[in-house]
């Protein structure tokens, strides 16, 4: 009887120590990739994002009969004021209000109605009867001008619609605040991506070469 020839292939196993050893040998590639990706993310933020400025005005909203009949505020008063603020928000978001604000501010040729709608935000300050109007745009002067124009003309129109409501301006926009463009966040994300991708590529290249080498050895 002829003897059987058995070719036993050694199973290739990979341990965590092997992985760390491979990565440690290429530490300089990982560090360079991490720094490079962080710088690229920082640069992309500079190029593809613009400076944004935000100006905010505030007014106190209440029921017009409250101040004549009451000497102290109750929870019902706050609830009623919050409901008025919801109505005020919807009124302010109407196209005709946008057009009037842009017209009075003499900026109707610079901003269109749909664009201005994205720039303006409003609502209650931390569920209080204080109503805020904020304008965010690339010009600090325009942001202040539009916010102050809105707080000037809007209460007149709002009180006509929401009968029995009243309001007082408590803060106008003096200056606009420059918003964070996310340099730090984007740089950190870029660094993490650079680290992960470089580690992955190093391991893939290493073990693809190892598999090919073992295959050649087995074919001999």
The verdict on pTM exceeding 0.85 is: no
**pLDDT per position as a tens digit, 70-103:** 545 555 666 778 889 999 999 999 999 999 999 9
Predicted pLDDT of residue 8: 43
- Mean pLDDT (whole number) for 120-135: 93
| 149: nearest Cα among 116, 185, 184 | 116
Q: What is the dihedral sign for C-alpha 70, 75, 81, 83?
A: negative
Q: How open is the CA angle 47-53-59, to the nearest 5 degrees?
A: 160
Q: In this structure, what DSSP letter does residue 180 have?
A: P
**Which residues, 6 or more positions from 62, have their beta carbon under 8 angstroms from its beta carbon?**
77, 81, 84, 129, 165, 166, 167
**Is 70 exceeded by the pLDDT of residue 198?**
yes
**pLDDT per position as a tens digit, 100-115:** 999 999 999 999 999 9
**Which residues, 6 or more positions from 34, have their beta carbon under 8 angstroms from its beta carbon?**
191, 194, 195, 198
């Amino acid at each position: 009887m002829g003897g059987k020839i058995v070719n036993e292939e050694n199973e290739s196993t990979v341990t965590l120590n092997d992985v760390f050893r491979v990565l440690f040998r290429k530490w300089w590639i990982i560090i360079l990739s991490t720094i490079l990706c962080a710088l690229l993310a920082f640069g992309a933020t500079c190029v593809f994002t613009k400076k944004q400025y935000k100006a905010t005005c505030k007014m106190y909203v209440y029921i017009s009969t409250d101040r004549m009949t009451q000497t102290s505020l109750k929870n019902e008063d706050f609830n009623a004021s919050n409901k008025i603020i919801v109505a005020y928000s919807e009124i302010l978001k109407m196209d005709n209000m946008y057009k009037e604000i842009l017209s009075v501010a003499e900026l109707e040729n610079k901003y269109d109605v749909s664009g201005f709608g994205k720039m303006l935000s409003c609502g209650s300050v931390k569920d209080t009867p204080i109503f805020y109007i904020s304008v965010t745009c690339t010009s600090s002067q325009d942001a202040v001008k539009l916010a102050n124009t809105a707080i000037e003309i809007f209460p007149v129109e709002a009180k006509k619609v929401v009968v029995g409501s009243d309001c007082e301006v408590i803060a106008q926009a003096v200056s606009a605040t420059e918003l964070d463009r996310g340099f730090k966040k984007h740089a950190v994300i870029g660094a993490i991506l650079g680290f992960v991708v470089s580690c992955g590529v190093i391991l893939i290249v290493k073990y693809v070469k190892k598999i090919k080498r073992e295959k050649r050895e087995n074919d001999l």
